[in-house]
Structure 1
Amino acid sequence: MHGSSRDDRPWPLDARHRPGLLALLGLALLMAFGADAHAHGVAEGDKGYIQEITGIHLLPFMYLGAKHMVTGYDHLLFLFGVIFFLYRPSHIGIYVSLFAIGHSTTLLLGVIFDTNVSSYLIDAIIGLSVVYKALDNLGAYQRWFGFQPNTKLATLVFGLFHGFGLATKIREFDIAPDGLIPNLLAFNVGVEVGQLLALAAILILMGYWRRTDSFWRHAYTANVAMMTAGFMLTGYQLTGWFVI
Structure 2
Amino acid sequence: MGRALCAGSAAALLAGGAWAHGVGGGDAAFVTAAQGPQIVPFLYLGAKHMVTGYDHLLFLLGVIFFLRDLRHVALYVTMFSLGHSLTLLAGVLGRISVDPFLVDAVIGLSVVYKAFDNLGGFKTVFGVQPNPKAAVLGFGLVHGFGLATKLQQLNLSKDGLLANLVSFNLGVEVGQLIALSAMLALVIAWRRQPGFGRQALAANVLIMAAGFLLMQQQLAGYFMQGKGLA
TM-score (norm 1): 0.88
In the TM superposition, what whole-angstrom CA distance separates every residue of 1:210-235 from its partner, at most 9, and x where no partner exists?
Answer: 11013212111000000000000000
CA shift, 1:116, in A, is: 1.5
Q: Identify the match of residue 103 of structure 2 among 122, 126, 129.
A: 122
Counterpart AA for 2:37? I
**1:158 corresponds to:** 139
Pick one of 65, 83, 86 that aligns with 1:105.
86
Deviation at 1:32, TM superposition (A): 2.0
Match of 1:230 in 2: 211
What runs of 5+ residues in structure 2 fail to find an aligned partner?
A: 226-230
2:157 counterpart SS class: coil
What is the Cα deviation at residue 73 of structure 1? 0.3
Pairwise mapping of residues 21-60 of structure 1 onto structure 2 (< 5 A)? 23=7, 26-33=10-17, 35=18, 38-39=20-21, 41-60=22-41
Deviation at 1:23, TM superposition (A): 4.3
After superposition, give the CA deviation of every residue in 1:155-214 in whole Å (9 maximum; x if it has no partner). 000000101011011011111101000110011111001110000000111111111013
Q: CA deviation at 1:45?
A: 1.0
1:7-52 CA distances to partner (integer Å, 9 max, x unpaired)?
xxxxxxxxxx9x889846742432324x15x23x112110000011
Q: Answer yes or no: is the 8 Å Cα contact 1:21–1:221 preserved in 2.
A: no
Match of 1:61 in 2: 42
Number of matched pairs = 224
The share of aligned pairs that are identical, in percent, is: 54
Q: Distance in 2 between matches of 1:22 and 1:48?
A: 36
User: Alpha-carbon deviations, 1:138-162, whole Å to 9, x = none?
Assistant: 0000011111100100000000010
In 1, the alpha carbon distance for the partners of 2:34 and 2:6 equals 46
Deviates further, 23-32 or 66-75: 23-32
Contact 2:115 2:207 in 1 (8 A): yes
Indicate conservation of the 8 Å contact 2:12/2:210, yes or no: yes
User: What is the root-mean-square deviation in Å for CA atoms of aligned residues?
Assistant: 1.8
Structure 1 residues 25 and 81: CA distance shift in structure 2, 3 A: closer
Q: Tell me the TM-score normalized by structure 2.
A: 0.93
Say if 1:130 and 1:227, in contact at 8 Å, map to a contact too.
yes
Aligned residues of 1:101 and 1:156 also touching (Cα < 8 A): yes
Of residues 196, 202, 226, the one that matches 2:183 is: 202
Q: Which moved more, 1:231-240 or 1:20-29?
A: 20-29
Q: Give matches, 1:132-143, under 5 Å.
A: 132-143=113-124
- 1:80 and 2:61 are equivalent in the alignment: yes
CA distance in 2, matches of 1:166, 1:20: 29
Unaligned runs of 5+ in 1: 1-16
